[in-house]
Structure 1
Amino acid sequence: MQKSELYKLMGIKLDLAVEAHEILRGEVGREIPGVKMDEERYENAVVKTITILDEQGAQIMGRAPGTYVTLESREIRDNNKMVHKQIGEILANKLKEILPLREDSTVLIVGLGNWNATPDALGPKVVELSMATRHLFHYAPEELRQGLRSVCVLAPGVLGLTGIETAEIIKGTVDRVQPDLVICIDALAAGSVERINSSLQVATTGINPGSGVGNKRIGINQETMGVPVVAIGVPTVVHAGIIAHQAMEKLFNHLQTTPALQDVYHALRPVAVNEMINDVLEPFGGQLMVTPKEIDEQISNTARIIAMALAMALHPGMPEDEVEHYLH
């Protein structure tokens, strides 16, 4: 029973490119044409870079050509500020490699999501912590902006709160401010509970806001905004159907010493499994999303890591040992 087929039947799209790559590569048993993966290991993190090189790779992976960097670390969930700073430095170095920046570039940081829903509040919390400096380049003496880059921040809310499509608000701001780059931060949906608040993805292809809570909205990318868009996403929820499927898999794997049960498992068609899971989730329209009870603290920790990394990556004169003092 192939996961990719079951997820397609359930209408689940994996937000993390590294998860999609692991599943597809495992099913075909070889490298995916048009896709390259590199891996780097650090003391408290593993960084995996998925590069979709051409349209063939894009079609197989189900996402646009570009670079998808995933930083994996279970220590993100722990309340360890020293380790969080190390993770922030790793993320900052990766951002420096990816972001198309000049010394005089203006950057717009956009915190996507609903600040009233904790699993979806990552973007607004990052914006709340981030340091806005664009006004200094208009109204402050030159000595006050030494080592800084022009940065402005925006938390546009969600359609249900504002009545305006998020992409429309951002496009209006882009047209007025004319930044050289947009960085979007959003909550994502994970393909397994292990990845919730333990992975950060940086994508050069933009983002579709609302994916972390099962919504579909207008894409925010270079095509729609007119400037490069880099997305930073963190899985904060997982579809309940995925948890149900993983539980069934573990049950059958545990009982695989009984040949009859093995035959039953392999005889199950993805359609049948999907129908059983949908029956359980029917009261929620098949769209039940699950998040940990410690989500408040985990979102705060993750937002601080991302805000630190952005400060170090965007401001060339920012002392790494003092970066925390510049967070709001």
Structure 2
Amino acid sequence: MNHIYTDLAVESREIYSKGKDIEVEGVAVKVEEQENYTITLVEVLNDEGSKKIGKPIGKYITLHSPNLDNADEDLKDEMSLVLGKEFKGLIKDYKADKVLIIGLGNWDISSDSLGPKVIERVLVTRQYFINFNKEFDESMANVAAVSPGVMGTTGIETFDIVKGIVEKIKPDIVIAVDALSSRKMDRISTTIQLSNIGINPGSGIGNKRKGLTEKTLGVPVFAIGIPTVVNAATMVNDTMDLIIDSMKQTEGVGREFYNLLDDLSKEDKYSLIDEVLSPFMGNVIVTPKDIDVIIEDLSIIIANGLNIAVHPGIDLKDVNRYIR
């Protein structure tokens, strides 16, 4: 499992259970299906569950909408409201008068620019609290936001930048927004993950960076992300599944071969494809061709949802009027 990169807890559980709908000890799952979207709560309850699916103890909420990557205005508004409601529920037990929002990623690379794009649209208010010497407001939270870039362009580790800001402005909570990696093509740009355990930038594609967590920063850290990339082996694996499903219906010798492939577990088949591709393609990352447009739309949904969640007096009408 270690070589199959994914940032999604729901996929980590699927990997452990090998795609079967079975209980995983130490992991609780709750699914709510609506007309346009599905909400899945994966809660890692203890060390046993954490060890089995490879995710820290905490809550992971997945919002999946098949049309999210090509959403009309109504679906954007609906998903903004859903995200706002779910995120508000995630932070309800925490003091959140002072909020720091971090847009992780590289603004020069489309598939990695989700974080910076969201920062452009969040409602920043800290300057007003400073100018008017206010500690609290009933309708607005004290929000600061920054996109620290990546070490390749700044020469500074993201963690060091964020840690310095946290020590200076002392927020109650930190919210990190980042592009993620998935192991399923149909989850690219159609899934939003919320969590209360922080984030490890680049972990989904195998990069090692110091995590932004409550342990490392000293304040609660929440994360919001959308998968925008898969690796080449995932794409080939999904294509092979479609071919196998089609060819199993044919008659003759070939049918036995495709039935044999179908009997392989998903992880064994993935491992075989990864081994075959590695000498020729290495760890190639794939993203949709229209990712620029997709990121623009998704950043609106996340920013609107965040604005609704953290500001008590803000609703969808306000964000649509002033933020877009």
TM-score, normalization: structure 2? Answer: 0.90
The residue aligned with 1:15 is 7
Alpha-carbon distance in 2 for matches of 1:171, 1:160: 18
The answer on whether the counterparts of 2:230 and 2:285 sit within 8 Å (CA) in structure 1 is yes
State the AA in 1 paired with 2:316. E
The answer on whether the counterparts of 1:119 and 1:237 sit within 8 Å (CA) in structure 2 is yes
State the AA in 2 paired with 1:301. D
The residue aligned with 2:252 is none
65-74 or 25-34, which moves further after superposition?
25-34
The residue aligned with 1:327 is 323
The answer on whether the counterparts of 2:151 and 2:157 sit within 8 Å (CA) in structure 1 is yes
1:262 Cα deviation from its structure 2 partner: 2.7
CA RMSD in angstroms comes to 2.5
Gap regions ≥5 residues in structure 1: none
The residue aligned with 1:262 is 259
Return closer, same or farther for 1:136/1:13 CA change in 2, 3 Å cut-off: same
1:131 Cα deviation from its structure 2 partner: 1.4
> Number of aligned pairs?
318
Q: Could you tell me which of 145, 153, 159 is aligned with 2:145?
A: 153
Alpha-carbon distance in 1 for matches of 2:48, 2:105: 32
Q: Deviations over 1:250-298 (max 9, x none)?
A: 33333335234433665799779646544434354x2101001110111
The answer on whether the counterparts of 1:75 and 1:84 sit within 8 Å (CA) in structure 2 is no
Q: Could you tell me which of 310, 314, 319 is aligned with 1:318?
A: 314
Please state whether the residue corresponding to 1:115 is helix, strand or coil: coil
259-268 or 94-103, which moves further after superposition?
259-268
Q: Could you tell me which of 36, 47, 50 is aligned with 1:55?
A: 47
Please state whether the residue corresponding to 2:74 is helix, strand or coil: helix
The residue aligned with 2:180 is 188
68-77 or 105-114, which moves further after superposition?
68-77
Please state whether the residue corresponding to 1:301 is helix, strand or coil: helix
The answer on whether the counterparts of 1:187 and 1:211 sit within 8 Å (CA) in structure 2 is no
Q: Could you tell me which of 191, 201, 221 is aligned with 1:229?
A: 221
Please state whether the residue corresponding to 1:233 is helix, strand or coil: strand
1:25-36 aligned within 5 A:
25-26=17-18, 30-36=22-28
The answer on whether the counterparts of 2:77 and 2:316 sit within 8 Å (CA) in structure 1 is no
The answer on whether the counterparts of 1:212 and 1:236 sit within 8 Å (CA) in structure 2 is no
1:131-146 aligned within 5 A:
131-140=123-132
Gap regions ≥5 residues in structure 2: 250-254
The residue aligned with 1:200 is 192
1:33 Cα deviation from its structure 2 partner: 0.6
Q: Does 1:288 align with 2:280?
A: no
Return closer, same or farther for 1:259/1:296 CA change in 2, 3 Å cut-off: same
Q: Deviations over 1:62-86 (max 9, x none)?
A: 0101000000012321241121011
Q: Does 1:307 align with 2:299?
A: no
The answer on whether the counterparts of 2:237 and 2:273 sit within 8 Å (CA) in structure 1 is no
Return closer, same or farther for 1:75/1:140 CA change in 2, 3 Å cut-off: farther
1:326 Cα deviation from its structure 2 partner: 3.1
Alpha-carbon distance in 2 for matches of 1:181, 1:207: 14
TM-score, normalization: structure 1? Answer: 0.89
The answer on whether the counterparts of 2:96 and 2:310 sit within 8 Å (CA) in structure 1 is no
100-109 or 196-205, which moves further after superposition?
100-109
Sequence identity of aligned pairs in percent? 35
